[in-house]
Amino acid sequence: MDLTYRPRRLRRSSSLRSLVQEHSLHPTDFIYPLFVHEGVDIEPIRAMPGANRWDLDNLIAEVERAWQLGIRCVVLFPKVDEPLKTEDGAECFNPDGLIPRAITRLKKELPDMTVMTDVALDPYSCDGHDGIVSSQGVVLNDETIEFLCRQAVTQAQAGADLIGPSDMMDGRVGAIREALDEEGFEHVGIISYTAKYSSAYYGPFREALDSAPRATSTKPIPKDKSTYQMNPANAREAITEAQLDEQEGADILMVKPGLAYLDIIYRLRKESELPIAAYNVSGEYAMVKAAAEKGWIEEEAVVLETLLSFKRAGADLILTYHACDAASWLREK
């Protein structure tokens, strides 16, 4: 055949392919999510094989391991003891609470590791919502924000580097920025869950923290988070959220979940010059683990291909429970 263009010319050898490779993965792209609890040992999470609830001693060892593998940021989520959960979730700003203690210890023992936090009431709320639920069953926006600001400041006081509001209340990024600045934490960054969808992919995470919305006898509790998290059918709306977060002072924008929302990552990458993060969430992790356990897919290849897809779509950072495995596979390559 008389062909001028033969794209296969550049695929002939591994060295040629690497010369023209457009995207790559590095352990410093990853943010490693970790669950902490008050227990005295490690507790496996049923729907997330390989992920655990960590006690603080073992947490330090695990973060040390992540550091050795080249990971430079972790995000902490608390499994709060049931008696501490209340309707307003006030435990979230207890300076002696689980998360502030974990941050303080981590920053003391591994000061160079970047520590990110999650800001939302759900792990602390007996109703399982990210905001305060009124007696009529409405998740209150403005009332919740004051609590989120106190939570963020408490985390900053403990030494957090990046505050991650995941609650999807309107105006929370601006309010948290102001609260942090007022307390002298102008150097603490905000990684906003900008386009967070009301997704079924969070199931295993809610099991890990026992934080799913739950009915009580005292008031109607919304069964899902669709009055504040985004409708999976919407893409343009993500751009509105991104514009607002940017105006309000977010430092990094996040899309969540990741895999079913690659188009949203791509759109935000075009819309904003800020770093974009993708959250490869618990349900995505569980699906890969389950299929790999059955021998139906090749775990390493599937995970690395998936993580690379986030970079290709335009993400700079990836929150992933595969962080340590992926970092060690990359090292062996």
Looking at the annotation, which residues are catalytic? 196, 256
Q: What is the spatial distance between Cα 319 and Cα 172, in angstroms, rounded to a whole number?
A: 21
Q: Which is nearer to ligand PBG, 167 or 248 (CB)?
A: 167
- Restricting to residues 162-181, which ones interact with ligand PBG according to CB under 6 A? 166-167
Q: Which is nearer to ligand PBG, 102 or 270 (CB)?
A: 102
One-letter identity of residue 311: K
- Considering the rule CB under 6 A, would residue 205 count as an interface residue with ligand PBG? yes
Instruction: Tell me how far, at minimum, the Cβ of 2 lies from ligand PBG, in Å.
Output: 53
User: Could you tell me which stretch among 84-92, 103-111, 116-124, 143-151 binds ligand PBG (CB under 6 A)?
Assistant: 116-124
Using alpha carbons, list the distances in angstroms from residue 300 to 115, 207, 218, 278, 292: 27, 25, 48, 19, 9
Tokens of 212: 């799913």
Instruction: Tell me how far, at minimum, the Cβ of 308 lies from ligand PBG, in Å.
Output: 19
Q: Which of 29, 88, 118, 161 binds ligand PBG (CB under 6 A)?
A: 118
**What is the contact mask toward ligand PBG in residues 254 to 293, using x (rule: CB under 6 A)?**
---------------------------xx-----------
- Considering the rule CB under 6 A, would residue 122 count as an interface residue with ligand PBG? yes
- Considering the rule CB under 6 A, would residue 192 count as an interface residue with ligand PBG? no
User: Quick check: 141 and 227 in contact, CB under 8 A?
Assistant: no
Instruction: Tell me how far, at minimum, the Cβ of 172 lies from ligand PBG, in Å.
Output: 12
- Considering the rule CB under 6 A, would residue 120 count as an interface residue with ligand PBG? yes
User: Could you tell me which stretch among 92-100, 176-184, 200-208, 243-251 binds ligand PBG (CB under 6 A)?
Assistant: 200-208
User: Quick check: 96 and 56 in contact, CB under 8 A?
Assistant: no
Tokens of 236: 């343009």
- Considering the rule CB under 6 A, would residue 147 count as an interface residue with ligand PBG? no
- Number of chain residues interacting with ligand PBG (CB under 6 A): 12
User: Quick check: 192 and 253 in contact, CB under 8 A?
Assistant: yes
- Considering the rule CB under 6 A, would residue 206 count as an interface residue with ligand PBG? yes
User: Quick check: 250 and 291 in contact, CB under 8 A?
Assistant: no
Q: Which residue has the tokens 């997704």?
A: 199
Q: What is the spatial distance between Cα 17 and Cα 279, in angstroms, rounded to a whole number?
A: 28
| Strand duo 162-165 + 114-119: pairing | parallel
According to DSSP, the residues that pair with 196 across neighbouring strands are 256
Tokens of 254: 């996040």
- Which spans of this chain sit near ligand PBG (rule: CB under 6 A)? 118, 120, 122, 130, 166-167, 202, 205-206, 225, 281-282
